[in-house]
Amino acid sequence: MDTRSLACFLAVAEGRHFRKAALALHMTQPTLSQRIRVLEDEVGTPLFLRDRRHVALTAAGEAFLEPARAALVNARLAIRRAREAESGTVGRLRLGFTVIAFYGRLPAVVREFRAAYPEVAVELVERNSPALEAALVADEIDIGVLHPPLERRELTRHALPGERLMLALPASHPLAALAEIPIAQLSDEALLVAPRSIGPVFHDRLLALFEGQGVTPRIAQEVTPMTTLAGLVAAGVGIGFVTEGIARSGRSDVLFRPVTPEPPVLPLAAAWLGPRPNAAGQHFLEMIMGWDGKRGSALSG
């Protein structure tokens, strides 16, 4: 039972006239009559009593009328919703992110997206980068905002502006008096770092920064996420690097200072499975790619 046949039935039932209904539907009267006959065959009983002068609904037609009207409304709604979902204006977006990413511009982009696409439900999932890669491959999320390089070659990524690092140290630390802290003065400090398994490339680059200044870093504890690292700094466990976004969130018992030489920038990227995400995901990417004020091409992960 197609929507066109239901529309034909309703046009006749509401106007009680085959010729006028055919004109309203932009079809010939014989075509309309044929559609009604096919519909009656499908229902299994006549829906109209008709002669040369009058058209009336049978008892079956009266019973069929309201459900048919509701079915046509719902069918048209279903078609509209499907087309909107294809265009990315309704549906859902499953967005994964790291804690670090959510201390940057990401919350503002999520707010902007929700305002622009109010009928897209945004599901937020916080995990570390390796777990986000696994979630993308398992189709548990549509887009992940994480830290490259990526291990999963089937993922596509777009580089986003990275996060600069600041040294977090207790407010009472002797080096806190310096506006900028040389790495060479950190030789005796207990260092807090993220586990190498979470980001081996960045981990190695950070330690190389110390070694390049003749300092062998003394790793006191591996810790994740960076927000916890800041808490451990406040507790006097050691010092460590956090992003500018986390530094801006502020703690009265922790100070944040730049260091020289400048540490590596923590890379950030949006990643998805396959050549492109779903339509809602593509709209989100357009917004998130505007972080640096320009559009960029997707890079193979």
Domain boundary among 67, 87, 107: 87
Of 25, 56, 87, which closes a domain?
87
Residue 176 per-residue DSSP state: G
Q: Which pair of structure tokens corresponds to residue 95? A: 């967005």
CATH classification at residue 199:
3.40.190.10
Residue 87 is predicted with a pLDDT of 67
CA distance 24 to 92: 38
Contact assessment for residue 238 and residue 159, using Cβ atoms and an 8 Å cutoff: no
CB 261 within 8 A of CB 186: no
Tally of domains in the chain? 3
Q: CATH code at 81? A: 1.10.10.10
Q: Which residues of the chain have pLDDT under 70?
A: 84-85, 87-88, 291-301
Q: Which of 53, 87, 121 is the last residue of a domain?
A: 87
Rounded to whole angstroms, the Cα distance separating 36 from 26 reads: 15
Same domain as 184, residue 119: no
Whether residue 140 sits in one domain with residue 79: no
CA distance 249 to 245: 7
DSSP assignment string, 45-96: S--EEE-SS-EEE-HHHHHHHHHHHHHHHHHHHHHHHHHHHHHTSSEEEEEE
pLDDT score of 100: 92
Q: Quote the CA–CA distance of 148 and 171 in Å, as a whole number.
A: 32
Given a contact cutoff of 8 angstroms between Cβ atoms, the answer to whether 263 and 257 are in contact is no
Collect all residues with Cβ–Cβ distance below 8 Å to 38 and sequence separation of at least 6: 5
What's the rounded Cα separation, in Å, for the pair 57 and 5? 16
Based on the fold, state whether residues 141 and 278 are members of the same structural domain. yes
Are 107 and 129 contained in the same domain?
yes
- Do 204 and 58 share a domain, yes or no? no
Residues 258, 183, single domain; the answer is yes
> CB–CB of 129/101 below 8 Å?
no
Task: Give, for 283, the enclosing helix (H) or strand (E).
Answer: helix 279-288
Instruction: Please give the mean pLDDT across all residues of the chain.
Output: 89
Boundaries of domain holding 52: 3-87
Considering the domain architecture, whether residues 176 and 258 belong to the same structural domain is answered as yes
Query: Are residues 106 and 255 part of one domain?
Result: no
Q: Would the CA dihedral through 24, 25, 31, 35 be positive or negative? A: negative
Q: What angle do CA 213, 214, 217 make, to 5 degrees?
A: 95
Q: Are residues 31 and 55 in the same domain?
A: yes
9-48: burial string, b at 16+ Cβ within 10 Å, e else: bbbbbeeeebeebbeebebeeeebbebbeebbeeeeebbb
Quick one: 117 and 243 in the same domain?
Answer: no
How many Cβ atoms sit within 10 Å of the Cβ of residue 165? 25
CA angle 171/177/180 to nearest 5° reads 105
Same domain, 68 and 56: yes
pLDDT in tens, 37-88: 999 999 999 999 887 778 899 999 899 999 998 888 888 777 777 776 676 6
Give pLDDT, residue 209: 95
What per-residue confidence (pLDDT) applies to 174?
94
128/180 same-domain check:
no
H or E segment at 126? strand 120-126
In whole angstroms, give the CA distance from residue 189 to residue 206.
15
